[in-house]
Amino acid sequence: MRQPIGHKTWAIAEGYIPAWSHGPAPEMTSHETVSILNAGDEDARVRIWVYFEDRAPIGPYELGVAARRTRHFRFNDLEDPEPIPKDTNYSSVIEADQPIVVQHTRIDTRQDANALLSTMAYAELRS
C-alpha cells in the first residue's frame, strides 16, 4: 500500500476573485479554486480559514474530500459561515485531518481573453 501523500496544513497567500467576467457561465466566470487531492485510504475532513487585510479571519469552512478522490472547490461558491467578497484581497489556510495535496488556481475573464494563474500551495512541513 502506498504511503500517504502530502501534508495536513497548507497556505495560499494570494487570493482575489475578480469582480466581473466575460464569456459563458460557469466555465468562463472569473473564479478562484482550491484543488485538494486526497490520495489516501481515509476520508479527509478539511477546514479552510480566510484572512483579510482589514478584518478578522473567517472560518472554518468545513469541507470533505473522500478517500482516493479530488475536489476542486471554487472560493466563489463557499457560503458557510459567509460568502467571500469579490474584488477583495485575501489569503487562506487549509487544514485536514489526513495528508492532502493543495493547489491554487485563478481564471480571470475580465477582458476579451481569459488569463490563468496556478501554483502549488505552501505545505507546512511540520504538519
Which residues contribute to the site for a copy of itself (CB under 8 A)? Answer: 3, 5-6, 9, 11-16, 18-19, 22-23, 27-28, 33, 35-37, 39, 49, 51-54, 56-57, 68-72, 87, 89-91, 93, 101-127
Q: Of 25 and 116, which CB lies nearer to a copy of itself in the complex structure?
A: 116
In whole angstroms, the minimum distance from the beta carbon of 118 to a copy of itself comes to 4
User: Who contacts 33 (Cβ-Cβ below 8 Å, separation ≥6)?
Assistant: 72, 73, 74, 75, 104, 105, 106
Q: How far apart are CA 63 and CA 65, in angstroms?
A: 7
Q: Of 3 and 80, which CB lies nearer to a copy of itself in the complex structure?
A: 3
| Owner of C-alpha cell 460557469 | 26
